[in-house]
Amino acid sequence: MLGIRVSGTIILVLLVGCATAERKLVHPEAWTEPHEGVAVLKGGLRIGSKTFDLPTTEAGLSDVLGSPDRTVGEANRILVWDRLGIFAYQDLKSHSIDALSISFTCEEADFCPKHAFPGVLVVGNAVFWHAPDARDIVRNHFRADELMCFRNVGRYEVSVDCMAAGPGPGTFEIALK
């Protein structure tokens, strides 16, 4: 508390620390629910409390995320978890799922989830709470190749649009290298 005298009157000013909106990272091993986070690690993908590898099956991914809210697509079948901001590509012939996308913002296609991913995305040692801008991508050691930026973690390659002005589309795709 700080007191200031103005014309014979003492005005008390309280100095209060401002709370920030910054969230604290909880270690992926402590996650219990899919909405808490997705981690791309050398040993596999971790969503909530479960670790798995790509390629996977619809049943395998549903075991981790629950049943998809909807499916769309013709060339590929796209499984969409609207409430989680996640979608996955399923090959029509093999029925395997080779890629998974985490969407912080996505509005340009009919397969975009209706809600943003609510958790944290951990790519190796990089942490994303929201759609990144180009500086976030460069600062976290993604390499640029035309319009996309890539980062390898173990046997996975994570890609994101890094050429957009301001925040990019905000969708990270995780696939095998």
In terms of Cβ atoms closer than 10 Å to its own Cβ (0-12, 13-18, 19+), residue 49 is middle
Tokens of 155: 């046997």
Residues linked to residue 5 through DSSP beta bridges, in sequence order: 10
Provide the whole-model pTM.
0.81
The reported pLDDT for the residue numbered 19 is 34
Task: State the pLDDT at residue 13.
Answer: 35
**DSSP H helices in 14-94:** 58-65
E-strand ranges in 14-169 read: 37-41, 44-47, 50-52, 70-72, 77-81, 86-90, 97-103, 120-123, 126-128, 143-145, 148-153, 156-161
Phi and psi at 79, nearest 5°, equal -90, 130
What sign for the dihedral angle of Cα 158, 161, 165, 169? negative
Domain ranges of the chain: 27-176
Would you give per-residue pLDDT tens digits along the chain (177 residues)? Answer: 444 444 444 433 333 333 334 557 778 888 999 999 999 999 899 999 999 999 999 999 999 999 999 999 877 799 999 999 999 999 999 999 999 999 998 877 888 899 999 999 999 999 999 888 888 888 899 998 878 899 999 999 999 987 664 445 578 999 988
Sheet arrangement for strand 86-90: 70-72, 77-81, 86-90, 97-103, 171-176, 156-161, 148-153, 143-145
